[in-house]
Structure 1
Amino acid sequence: MTLNLTVQEIAQITGAEAAQNAQTPVTKLCALDDAQEGGICYLTGLDHADQLGALKAAALIVPEEAKGKELPFNGALLYAKNPEWAFILLMKYVDAKRQKHTAGIHPTAVISPNAKLGENVSVGAYTVIEDGVTVGDNTVIFPQCYIGKDVTVGKNCYIYPQVVIREDCVLKDYVVLQAGAKIGSDGFGFAFHEGRHQKIPQIGNVVLGNDVEIQSNTCIDRAKISSTVIGDNTKIDNLVQIGHNVRIGMSSILCAQVGVAGTTDIGNGVVLAGQVGLAGHMKIGDRAQVGAQSGVMSSIPAGQTYFGYPAMPKKEAFQQLAILRKLPEMNKEFKAFKKQLNEAKNLSFFGKLKKLLGL
């Protein structure tokens, strides 16, 4: 990311304290391991501060505890309580300055005359907006999106290319849908009747709370009845499948390739690592965490960390893994013991007595 700011201006944006050289120009954001001339990066700790002399960056954000210490860095220093967050604030500033879209309605967009668009709404090329849709102020809809009948989209939302939002779904404010997300597809519901799988109509919807972000190619199914609900500030990664009638609380994180079967209740602040699979009709308590590639077959209490397949409390799972690593050695010992036992069985009574007496 490029920028044209002084160290003092960066201090004002981030809340950091500029220690020296406040008028030093900064032209780019850099990672610490790829620091470049004119760039700014950040340091979360002082464990390797002795290596800063080789850093080429123009400025560096460091922890407040570095005050009064002689650091070998040759550029300008900024002190922050949380250097990473200060750097994120700077990234937010730069990101907000970038023009990501063309303002206004593209002439190729197809918008129903019955749709209601708020102020300063942008609609990209070849996007379709059906009857009864409501779009809030300052929302940006990128090209090639489809928004079905009677959808409600809140204010300040970003809907990236090739997103599909099916009929009756609701997006509240500040929702971000990354490219290719699918919201409101039919839930996977079938009844086996008279020798065939008969489709169950999926007549509910999906409700996405405020500040929800859904990453690319994730699918969230509409409810059979009522709503599939994603709570405020929850973030869902790429390639995640959320089944019908699932309810997810506030500020939860679902990482890539998670699969959640229908009618599962996930609490607030839950973390599901990559490729976790949840069977349906269960409850995951608040602040629970599930390790990568775990298969959850039953409910998890609040605040617990589970891992494994089937998932179990982390301590128990790690104990089992430790035993599994020892299986080759244990098997070798078992075979040696079995061999000794067989030899003992083949000895005569006097042979056994001699062996026992060591004769």
Structure 2
Amino acid sequence: MAYTIEQIAAALGADALGAVDIEVDSVAEPADAGPAQLALAMKPEYAEGLSQGNARAAMLWQGADWQALGLEAAIISPRPRFALSGLSAMMDPGQGWSDGVHPSAVVDDTAELGEGVVIGPLAVIGKGAKLGAGTVVGPQCFVGSDVTIGAQGFLREGVRIGARVCIGDRFIAQPGAVVGSDGFSYVTPEESGAEKVRQTLGDQGEIKAQKHARIHSLGAVSIGDDVEVGANSTIDRGTVRDTVIGSGTKIDNLVHIGHNCVIGTDCLLCGQVGMAGSVKVGNNVIMAGQTGVADNIFVGDNVITGGATKLMSNVPKGRVMLGYPAIQMDAQMEVYKGLRRLKRLFKDVADLKKTVSNHSQSE
């Protein structure tokens, strides 16, 4: 679908300049943009590519001289990257799936489908499931018994939602996401080596072979509104109470959230974050890729962790953490600088020892 520059700017709350009746049907990087595409030159360094492309119009930064860049029209936003959020939604062509319920889908007679629900090929909708208006269930998805998904949900290919999971409005799950898998909970008849090590920090005591008995997951998963779950991520159901994901939280690909975890609102969990059971995370927390979180700890509001950080104890609100074991980022960087100086330090000490030794011998 094509839009005029004026229409796009109005939708984004941005300024339209020049020939605002120019129509564009997609976006492109400046060097690749054609006449019917809107070039995304949102920083001065990106605009250097405009001369290599054929764009007539571009989205630019505040204060940009669009005419000097050889453009016929421009969209100016005080925060172009934020405007890109709305622009990308306008220009998204979707997955190309058909409307309605596909003939190959299996929908239980007791399931409730809201107005405009789409069910793709080979999808399965279990008994008592409730899908809100406008929700789209993609090909080969599974929605278990008594699951509730709110309005305008979107399940990409191969998503699995376990029984009794409750999800709010505008939920998005990328291909292969699993919500409501059983928790990793096992117990031994006698105190295990792992339990002893937790107490002694190293001594297992007498080592015995032990069998592991499974603890079933009786809880489910409760997810708020506007939550997204990335491809091949997994969220375990609770042992007795539900695992909880707060509204507005965004979860990247290959993230694991263990049983009984409680995640606050508007958190960002980046790729390969791993969270053990019964972790409680506050609001507006950002965990960079490969952050690991030990079980039963608390992470306060507005905490930020750097890549590959390992949290092994509670973190107060507002802290910025890095490293393994995690300490505050500024302290970790000083430690890192010290490590880099070790080779030179060893050489300096060796030279000093040699000097002292030679001085002693000369006496």
Question: Residue type matched to 1:298 in 2?
Answer: S
Question: Residue type matched to 1:139 in 2?
Answer: T
Question: Residue type matched to 2:241 in 1?
Answer: S
Question: Residue type matched to 1:340 in 2?
Answer: T
Q: How far apart, CA to CA, are the structure 2 residues paired with 1:257 and 1:91?
A: 26
From 107, 116, 123, give the equivalent of 1:111: 107
Specify the structure having the higher radius of gyration (Cα). Answer: 1
Q: How far apart, CA to CA, are the structure 1 residues paired with 2:347 and 2:59?
A: 56
Q: How far apart, CA to CA, are the structure 2 residues paired with 1:266 and 1:33?
A: 43
CA deviation profile, 1:303-325 (whole Å, cap 9, x unmatched): 11000111100110000000111
Q: How far apart, CA to CA, are the structure 2 residues paired with 1:18 and 1:179?
A: 37
Q: How far apart, CA to CA, are the structure 2 residues paired with 1:48 and 1:92?
A: 22
Aligned to 1:269: 284
Question: Residue type matched to 1:72 in 2?
Answer: L
Residues 42 and 84 in structure 1, CA contact (< 8 A), matched pair in contact too: no
Any idea what SS the aligned residue of 1:61 has? strand
Any idea what SS the aligned residue of 1:327 has? helix
Question: Residue type matched to 1:240 in 2?
Answer: V
Q: How far apart, CA to CA, are the structure 2 residues paired with 1:110 and 1:331?
A: 70
Q: How far apart, CA to CA, are the structure 2 residues paired with 1:239 and 1:126?
A: 24
Aligned to 1:29: 27
Q: How far apart, CA to CA, are the structure 1 residues paired with 2:239 and 2:48?
A: 60
Q: Are 2:344 and 1:329 equivalent residues in the alignment?
A: yes
Q: Are 2:154 and 1:158 equivalent residues in the alignment?
A: yes
Q: Are 2:136 and 1:121 equivalent residues in the alignment?
A: no
Aligned to 2:211: 196
Pair 1:51–1:236, CA change in 2 (3 A): closer
Aligned to 1:73: 70
From 261, 265, 273, give the equivalent of 1:258: 273
Q: How far apart, CA to CA, are the structure 2 residues paired with 1:147 and 1:51?
A: 46
Aligned to 1:40: 38
Please say which of residues 22-31 and 196-205 is displaced more in the overlay: 22-31
Q: How far apart, CA to CA, are the structure 2 residues paired with 1:186 and 1:48?
A: 47
Q: Are 2:242 and 1:233 equivalent residues in the alignment?
A: no
Aligned to 1:208: 223
CA deviation profile, 1:142-197 (whole Å, cap 9, x unmatched): 11111111111111101111111111111111101111001111101000115311
From 72, 95, 101, give the equivalent of 2:97: 101
Residues 174 and 230 in structure 2, CA contact (< 8 A), matched pair in contact too: yes
Aligned to 2:206: none
Gapped regions of structure 1 (runs ≥ 5): 353-359
Residues 30 and 47 in structure 2, CA contact (< 8 A), matched pair in contact too: no
Residues 42 and 83 in structure 1, CA contact (< 8 A), matched pair in contact too: no
Q: How far apart, CA to CA, are the structure 2 residues paired with 1:49 and 1:185?
A: 47
Question: Residue type matched to 1:311 in 2?
Answer: A
Aligned to 1:168: 164
TM-score, normalized by length of structure 2? Answer: 0.88
TM superposition shift of 1:44: 3.5
Please say which of residues 254-263 and 10-19 is displaced more in the overlay: 10-19
Aligned to 1:288: 303
C-alpha RMSD over aligned residues: 2.1
Aligned to 2:198: none
Please say which of residues 24-33 and 235-244 is displaced more in the overlay: 24-33
Residues 248 and 266 in structure 1, CA contact (< 8 A), matched pair in contact too: yes
Aligned to 1:8: 6
Pair 1:104–1:50, CA change in 2 (3 A): closer
Residues 30 and 52 in structure 2, CA contact (< 8 A), matched pair in contact too: no
Any idea what SS the aligned residue of 2:188 has? strand
Please say which of residues 102-111 and 18-27 is displaced more in the overlay: 18-27
> Equivalent pairs: percent with the same residue?
34
Pair 1:33–1:265, CA change in 2 (3 A): farther
Q: How far apart, CA to CA, are the structure 2 residues paired with 1:113 and 1:59?
A: 52
TM superposition shift of 1:32: 3.3
Any idea what SS the aligned residue of 2:337 has? helix
Aligned to 1:357: none
